[in-house]
Structures are given as structure tokens and as C-alpha cells.
Structure 1
């Protein structure tokens, strides 16, 4: 049953932490041989192709009404651009560095929750967010010196993904995760494919599609399959245990990214990047523990 299998949930989170960096490795292996727009759209095309039949077999498909369709398209647009930003960053940044910068997303989500949803945030969490952003700067500074503004793209991914998560919070309670992922993939393809068609032959490298050779075709399939499998693991992990239990295990993804980066590309974080990763992880865990503590505090009687 949902919410009462923590052992299975942790196992699924470990699978997520290993599979997601594998997707990033496939994207990095493609490099600049294909535009990031094409890689991102292919990733969501694979998701739609895998999830739509599964949702149909489960009897979970329905005809969305116009408001729901708009939310699917908005979520897909945010995730599509966020994915393209991250894949572009991977062309020059080590996987672990790019992912660690992206992990400021919980801090951005916390701040957006205060600004947009009027969620109360105390000074301790503001300090933790500040420390987390300082950790990101430790990683960005040498990367910016070496790669230029591309080092800022994971920050753009984090910001867009935080808005995506706010929308997902509104929809996830009303829809099965397989259905939600199927419609997200379909909406992303519906938005991205016309853009690729319009830019075909334009010479605008990120958006001009090209026919992949056999090697890159395999990598494209790897991106799509790994992305879908990792998010399925994450979705079902959240159905087997509360997010408050699983949140710390998400940081295993940085460990997985470091291992994949070293194994495939020979990349290891330098001392400054390692310090930045440590600050981000420590601050993120503090925010998680603080929110968990506050959620357990008894509500005063009126």
C-alpha cells in the first residue's frame, strides 16, 4: 500500500540516484554532435512512447479539460527548457559540478514558497539557503572562468524546475504519477517538435536538428530510457514512503554523478568544487531537517 514500504522506497531512490546520472552521461557523450533542443525533445518523446501505453494498460488515461491541458503544457515548457539548459551545460561542465549547482533548486523552491505561496520561513532557513547559494558560487566561479556564462545554465535549470515543482504540487494529488509523466512527455513533444521543424536548416546550432549517426542514436535512446526509468523510480518511491523520509536520499544523485563522471570521463571535482558540494548538501539537509521538525511541532490551540 502507499506510504508503508520504506525499504522499497529507499531501494527505488538508490536506483534513481544511479540511473539519472547515467542519462546525463549519455547526453554528455552526445556533446555538440546534436543540438540540445533535439536531445531534449527526444528525451520526452521516449518518455511519452513508454508511459502512454503503460497508462492506457492501467486504465489511467483520460481526456484533459482545457485548464488541465494548459497546466500540462506549462509544466512541459518549463521542464523542456530546463532540460535543454542542463544538457547544454553538460557539454563543458563535469556532471557532478553541473548537478551540484542544480541542487540549489530546493533553496529556490523554499524562497518561492515564501514569495508565491506565503509559506512561513524563519531566519534559520534563510541562512541555510544563503549558505547553499554560497556553495554554488564556489563551484560556479572556476567553472565560469573556464567555460564562461554556460556555468550559469544549471542555475537556470534550478529556477525553472522550482516553478515546475510548484505546478506539480497542485496536480500530483489528483493524478496517478504514470499518467502525469505520460501527459508531460506528450506535451513537451507537442511544444518542442514544431520548434525543431521551424529551425531545421537554420544554422542555429541548439535548435537545428540533424540526423544522428548510429552511435548518437544509441545515446539518444539511452537518454530517453534512463530519464523515464529514473522518474518512474522516483514517482513510485514517493508512493511507498513520504517525501520527508526520502528527501535526504536524493543527494545520493551527486554521489552517482561523481562516480559516473569519473568512470566515463575521468572527471573529479577539484577542492573548491568539493567544498561547494559539501556546503550545498549540508545546507539542503539542514533545510529538510528544519522543515521536518516544524511539521512535527504541535499546533497551538486556538
Structure 2
């Protein structure tokens, strides 16, 4: 293995690990503030910071997207994925929510047919029921305790799959930084609207008061870790290639499990670990059986979301 490829893998692993660190920080705010408000504040901070970077590096002209409605669709899908995932980790173990979110590659493969007119390969039809078995194993204890709320990570995976597909459709519409700015800036209004609706819904857990300074600090840290993660994953991809980097995203599961145990005392039971193994195995097998020319070419298309 060449030096560039090794360093690329290490950079990607560091990036994907940073995402799980951000998720753990989000979970520390459970019960302190509305998860919808946490998502809105995190993306407001991120959108401002990324916009300043884009303005400085590429100038005002970089803020003009070629296909505005497509960028709005990307923002809406990211907002949906983030709201569902943040809400999930407020009430579920971090590793369990992460495992369910990893069903997104199956959704991408299934939805690419009707939405992008791509041929759905036989392996997808084989792996879909297998992945669903894994999902049911992970959901088993959570559904009995939480009801339909336990399905939030699956909903997050569905929204994320739609985001991946819209990313593919938008490929080439701008630089990597501008595309990150577009999706963050357009997700933010949806997140603010969701937090506002949640506040006026009357649900105690969704009430939005003045946040404590520590919440603002933690949301800022999450914004920084997410942006840093994408930057590291991008650098890793430029050195080792997307096809080599893609499987590294499952490092998030290992980091999430370790942080869940160390910070929150969460210990997934054996059926949950078995279900997670099935879901991840299905994703890896799907990647291994995908012709190299058809594999994703950009970091944004990998199973990692800027949460």
C-alpha cells in the first residue's frame, strides 16, 4: 500500500470518528434543551462559519447555485435526516441509533432506480430483506419501550438516502465548499421552522427557552467537529480514492459504541450487536459487489451525514 493511500485511510478514519464524537456531544444535551432546537442552533452556527470561509476563499459569486430548487431539496433532506437522528439519540443508545442509520446504503440502492433511472442490481434485492432482519433485531427492545419513536433512526436513514441521491443529481454544480455551504444554509431554515413548531406544539420536551451557555458551546463544538470531519474525509478521498475510503465510514459504529459505554454506560445486548453486524455486513457486501466505475466519486455520496 502506497504512503498516500495509507495516509488517506488514516485521515478518513479520523474524520468519520469525529462525527461520532459530535453525536456523543449532542447526546449530552438530552433533557437540557429541545433536540429540534439543538439541530437548528448547530446548523445556524455551521452555516455562518462555512459561509464566511466560502466568501473569503471564492468570493460572492460562489453563493449563486446553478439549480436552486435542487439545492433546496438537498437542504430539506439533510434537515429531515438531522432532526430524526438528533431526536433519536436523545432517547436511544448512541450505538443503536447509529446501527439503524447505517441502513441508508440499502435505501440509496433501492431509490436510485426510480429516482435516477439506475438499474437496481440483484444483490440489492437479496440484501434488502437481510438488512431488514438486522433492523428488526436492533429495534426489538427499543420499540417495546419507546414505540414508534424507535423508528426515528430508520427515518433518518431514509432522508439521508434521498440526500445522497440529490447530491448525485447536483454533482458538478459547484466546489466542494460551496456545495457544503448550500446544503447547510438551506437546511437551517427548515430546522428553525421545525424547532418553532415543536415549541408551540406544547410538548414539554420540545419547549425552546434561552439556552445555557454550555449548550451554545456544545452546539459550536458539534459544528466544528462535523466540518472538520468532512474536511478530513475529503482529504482522505483525494489521497486514497472514494472506493478505498467508503468502508472506513463504519468506524463510526465502533467509536459510537465505545463513547456510549464510556460516557453514558450504554451496553448493547447481543441481539442488538447481531442486528448491527447484519446491517453493516449488508452495506459492506453491497459496496464490495458494486462495479468500481459505478461506485460514488465524491465524499458527499458516502454513508456519512453532516449532522
Give the alignment's TM-score, normalised by structure 1.
Answer: 0.88
Residues in 1 aligned to 2:203 and 2:74: alpha-carbon distance in whole angstroms: 25
> Structure 1, residues 121-174: CA drift from partner, whole Å, max 9, x if none?
332331122212211111011111122211100010000111111111122333
Q: Is there any run of 5+ residues in structure 2 with no aligned partner, and where?
A: 296-307
Residue 27 of structure 2 is aligned to residue 28 of structure 1 = yes
Residue aligning to 1:50: 49
Residue aligning to 1:284: 283
CA contact (8 A) 2:46 2:223 kept: yes
Residues in 1 aligned to 2:31 and 2:124: alpha-carbon distance in whole angstroms: 39
Higher alpha-carbon deviation: 210-219 or 128-137? 210-219
Residue aligning to 1:89: 88
Say if 1:110 and 1:197 are closer, same or farther in 2 by CA, change over 3 A: closer
> Structure 1, residues 164-215: CA drift from partner, whole Å, max 9, x if none?
1111112233321111112222222233335545766663456542211133
Higher alpha-carbon deviation: 235-244 or 57-66? 57-66
Residue aligning to 1:110: 109
CA contact (8 A) 1:43 1:227 kept: no
CA contact (8 A) 1:40 1:84 kept: yes
Shift of 1:23: 1.1
Residue aligning to 2:13: 14
Q: Is there any run of 5+ residues in structure 1 with no aligned partner, and where?
A: 297-302
Residue aligning to 1:299: none
Higher alpha-carbon deviation: 230-239 or 19-28? 230-239
- State the SS of the aligned residue for 2:55: helix
CA contact (8 A) 2:88 2:97 kept: yes
What's the C-alpha RMSD, in Å, of the aligned pairs? 2.4
- State the SS of the aligned residue for 1:62: helix
CA contact (8 A) 2:36 2:87 kept: no
Residues in 2 aligned to 1:287 and 1:213: alpha-carbon distance in whole angstroms: 44
Higher alpha-carbon deviation: 8-17 or 199-208? 199-208
Residue aligning to 1:255: 254
CA contact (8 A) 2:62 2:178 kept: no
CA contact (8 A) 1:27 1:223 kept: yes
Alignment of 1:179-258 (within 5 A): 179-194=178-193, 196=195, 203-205=202-204, 208-258=207-257
Shift of 1:280: 1.1
Higher alpha-carbon deviation: 96-105 or 21-30? 21-30
Residues in 2 aligned to 1:216 and 1:109: alpha-carbon distance in whole angstroms: 34
Aligned length: 293
Residues in 2 aligned to 1:99 and 1:28: alpha-carbon distance in whole angstroms: 12
- State the SS of the aligned residue for 1:291: coil
Higher alpha-carbon deviation: 146-155 or 120-129? 120-129
